[in-house]
């Protein structure tokens, strides 16, 4: 499960004090022990009962101008600090089923009941309310290829909640949690690892009953641009797609290039030929995802080619 870090009570600090410590050149969020060493400071910030409300009021007075510029999340998140390529700090709101926002929008926007890991590490503390619940699991990332339907050795650890003052380190590619609603509105504060490499590291959704990967959550701008290039880019784009399919360092992008070329192919058979190349890839993710895509394309052949589809098909 996420690593719980016991912290003694200390005098409350300001957000600026935490930022000063995180800006030290020695801080490396990719180092577990170095990240864990920041837990006492995060715990002391959580002891400051006024800073978050004061920041929220200041944002409202400024019509949330900084949030518009720096916050890539939904209204569930307030960005507290984003001025470094190594990390950022945010506050998350966790509504309960009784709150009006859940009654109107449902639970899905808040990532409840979606078992997942993370492709980054982050340090979190309970700040307000009883805290969200989680079912915690662990798995061995190094043994996983990463395709949907792949069996994964998920190990259940416990069910607990992020209570006020409790500090936990979620470790990238190791900790899995199925997040459950808080009993009443709660707030957590996170120090998040940031890196330009994160869009190329896969984050997974899991089926904890079957212990399988249910889907890949990571999406990058590169994948969307590959689709555009395949359909609109001409010969120059084709060369680029071929190069990405053969040599891109991210397995997921290699497959995306093959998939988009297959989708843009003039007919089903040509698309299947492109994907067949992928099934022979020495990269296991590319080979398996190409096989799955071939099955989907073959299953949809009648519809794609405009032939009548039987009711039992």
Taking only the tens place, the pLDDT of each residue in 105-152 is 999 999 999 999 999 999 999 999 999 999 999 999 999 999 999 999
Distance of CA 258 to the CA centre of its chain: 24
Contact 213, 144 (CB under 8 A): yes
Two structure tokens written together for 134: 């989680």
Q: Which pLDDT score, from 0 to 100, does residue 97 have?
A: 96
Mean pLDDT of the chain: 94
Estimate the crossing angle of helix 284-299 against helix 251-263, to 10 degrees.
Answer: 30
Calculate mean pLDDT across residues 209-235.
92
Contact 125, 167 (CB under 8 A): yes
CA-CA distance, 220 to 259, in Å (whole number)? 15
CA-CA distance, 70 to 180, in Å (whole number)? 27
What's the chain's Rg over C-alpha atoms?
A: 23
Each domain of the chain, given as residue ranges in start order, spans: 3-216, 221-304
Q: Looking at 166-170, 214-218, 228-232, 249-253, which range is the least confident one?
A: 228-232
CATH 2.60.120.10 fits 3-216, yes or no: yes
Two structure tokens written together for 128: 């307000």
Contact 262, 232 (CB under 8 A): no
């Amino acid at each position: 499960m996420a690593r719980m870090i016991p912290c003694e009570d200390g005098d409350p600090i300001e957000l600026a004090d935490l930022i000063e410590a995180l800006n030290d050149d020695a801080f490396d969020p990719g180092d577990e022990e170095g990240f864990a060493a920041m837990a006492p400071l995060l715990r002391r910030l959580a002891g400051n009962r006024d800073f978050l409300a004061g920041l929220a009021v200041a944002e409202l007075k400024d019509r949330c101008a900084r949030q518009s510029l720096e916050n890539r999340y939904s209204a569930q998140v307030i960005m507290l600090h984003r001025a470094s390529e190594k990390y950022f700090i945010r506050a998350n709101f966790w509504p309960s089923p009784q709150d009006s926002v859940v009654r109107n929008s449902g639970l899905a926007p808040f990532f409840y009941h979606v078992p997942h890991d993370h492709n980054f590490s982050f340090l979190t503390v309970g700040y307000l309310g009883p805290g969200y619940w989680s079912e915690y699991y662990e798995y061995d990332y190094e043994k996983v290829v990463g395709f949907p339907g792949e069996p994964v050795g998920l190990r259940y650890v416990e069910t607990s909640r992020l209570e006020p003052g409790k500090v936990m380190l979620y470790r990238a590619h190791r900790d899995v949690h199925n997040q459950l609603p808080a009993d009443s509105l709660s707030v957590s504060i996170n120090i998040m690892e940031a890196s330009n490499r994160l869009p190329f590291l896969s984050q997974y959704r899991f089926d904890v009953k079957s212990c399988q990967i249910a889907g890949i959550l990571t999406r990058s701008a590169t994948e969307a641009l590959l689709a555009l290039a395949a359909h609109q880019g001409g010969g120059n784009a084709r060369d680029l797609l071929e190069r990405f399919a053969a040599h891109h360092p991210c397995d997921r992008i290699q497959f995306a290039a093959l998939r988009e070329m297959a989708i843009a192919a003039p007919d089903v058979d040509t698309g299947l030929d492109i994907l067949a190349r992928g099934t022979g890839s020495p990269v296991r993710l590319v080979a398996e995802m190409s096989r799955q895509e071939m099955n989907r394309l073959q299953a949809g052949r009648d519809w794609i080619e405009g032939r009548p589809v039987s009711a039992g098909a």
